[in-house]
């Protein structure tokens, strides 16, 4: 559905987008995740044809956004970070203007306006001035205009910025619903938001694409559990003695010790941390000491985000998901 090949964008000497390549299939909700200034908005502006690229190609349903802009843009509905709303208009007046600009007329224009008003939940405010609407409703009006023309791809740039918690939940639910009938791409720097909404995530850092996969696969591949937190009635010397013959422990750190218990972190380089847990349990049983608590530390999407965006490596993935 969407193919981005070696996309690069310079602003003078500043490299904003650094040789990004990826492909997006039809359907599903895709998230652009990255810190502020990572290159998300620039990439999306290029994908929608609102900004030129220094080099590279973007194809929407086979049409190059630069060589065939009219055909490519007909497939895209776009909500910029700052929706281009006319504050003196009502949503109904504004949507009629946008629909006519997109080439819709007559009964078809009326039908599509009614459809997007219903889909975005703005029927109750359609005749009020946009200037009098809450930010949440303004975002809904912006999404409604993006849906006019029945585009196959909906691109939303930071659609929940500045909204209150209830409005954020409402917009998230709307995006999920849109993902059932459209290919939806939206950008955010909020980890929980992307994890909640998206089927797949593209992580961008310093203009580079550093990961492209499902949230679950990112956590599984990059942050398999490799740390055990242990609470025991053994003192630190007894703890070290019990564990000295357990293989695969790369580091043992005592965090807290009192006369009644000791808290320690155990790290390993092995992939099978569960086998190590079994060996630790048996070692304590043989040493006649009690494990009061043993827990595995598992990675989260936030850990993945920090690991990838703060990494000093210059390697870039090919932009394709692993099976």
The pLDDT tens digits for 92-141 are: 999 999 999 999 999 999 999 999 999 999 999 999 999 999 988 999 99
* pTM of the shown model: 0.73
DSSP 203-254: EEETTEEEEEE-HHHHHHHH----EEEEEESS-HHHHHHHHTT-TTEEEEEE
> And the tokens for 249?
């422990």
Q: What is the pLDDT of residue 125?
A: 96
Per residue in 31-67, pLDDT (tens digit) is 988 888 889 889 999 999 999 999 999 999 899 999 9
Q: Does position 1 have pLDDT exceeding 70, yes or no?
A: yes
The CATH class given to the 224-297 domain equals alpha beta
Distance, CA of 115 to CA of 77 (rounded, Å): 15
Angle at 233 between CA 232 and CA 237, to 5 degrees: 90
Topology (CATH level 3) of domain 2-214+304-309: Rossmann fold (3.40.50)
> 285 or 299: which carries more pLDDT confidence?
285
What residues does CATH 3.30.70.120 cover in the chain?
224-297
> 89 or 196: which carries more pLDDT confidence?
89
Q: Does position 322 have pLDDT exceeding 70, yes or no?
A: no
Q: Does position 195 have pLDDT exceeding 90, yes or no?
A: no
What residues does CATH 3.40.50.300 cover in the chain?
2-214+304-309
Q: What is the pLDDT of residue 26?
A: 85
> And the tokens for 302?
């936030």
Element (H, E) at 88: none
């Amino acid at each position: 559905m969407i193919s981005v090949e070696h996309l690069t964008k310079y602003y003078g000497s500043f490299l904003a987008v650094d040789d990004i390549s990826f492909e997006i299939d039809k359907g599903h909700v895709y998230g652009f995740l990255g810190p502020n200034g990572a290159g998300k908005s620039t990439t999306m502006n290029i994908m929608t044809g609102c900004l030129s690229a220094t080099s590279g190609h973007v194809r929407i349903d086979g049409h190059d956004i630069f060589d065939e802009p009219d055909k490519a843009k007909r497939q895209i509905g776009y909500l910029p970070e700052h929706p281009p709303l006319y504050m003196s208009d009502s949503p109904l007046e504004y949507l009629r203007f946008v629909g006519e600009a997109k080439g819709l007329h007559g009964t078809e224009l009326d039908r599509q306006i009614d459809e997007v008003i219903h889909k975005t939940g703005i029927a109750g405010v359609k005749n009020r001035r946009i200037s009098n609407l809450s930010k949440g409703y303004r975002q809904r009006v912006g999404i409604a205009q993006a849906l006019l023309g029945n585009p196959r791809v909906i691109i939303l740039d930071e659609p929940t910025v500045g909204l209150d918690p209830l409005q954020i939940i409402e917009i998230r639910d709307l995006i999920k619903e849109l993902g059932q009938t459209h290919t939806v791409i939206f950008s955010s720097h909020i980890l929980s938001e992307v994890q909640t909404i998206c089927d797949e995530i593209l992580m961008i850092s310093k203009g580079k694409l550093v990961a492209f996969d499902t949230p679950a696969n990112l956590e599984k591949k990059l942050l398999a559990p490799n740390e055990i937190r242990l609470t025991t009635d053994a003192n630190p010397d007894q703890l070290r003695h019990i564990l000295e013959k357990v293989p695969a422990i790369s580091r043992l750190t005592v965090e807290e010790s009192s006369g009644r218990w000791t808290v320690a972190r155990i790290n390993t380089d092995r992939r099978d941390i569960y086998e190590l847990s079994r060996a630790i349990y048996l070692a304590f049983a043989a040493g006649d000491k009690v494990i009061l608590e043993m827990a595995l530390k598992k990675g989260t999407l936030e850990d993945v985000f920090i690991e990838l965006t703060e990494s000093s490596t210059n390697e870039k993935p090919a932009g394709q998901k692993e099976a």
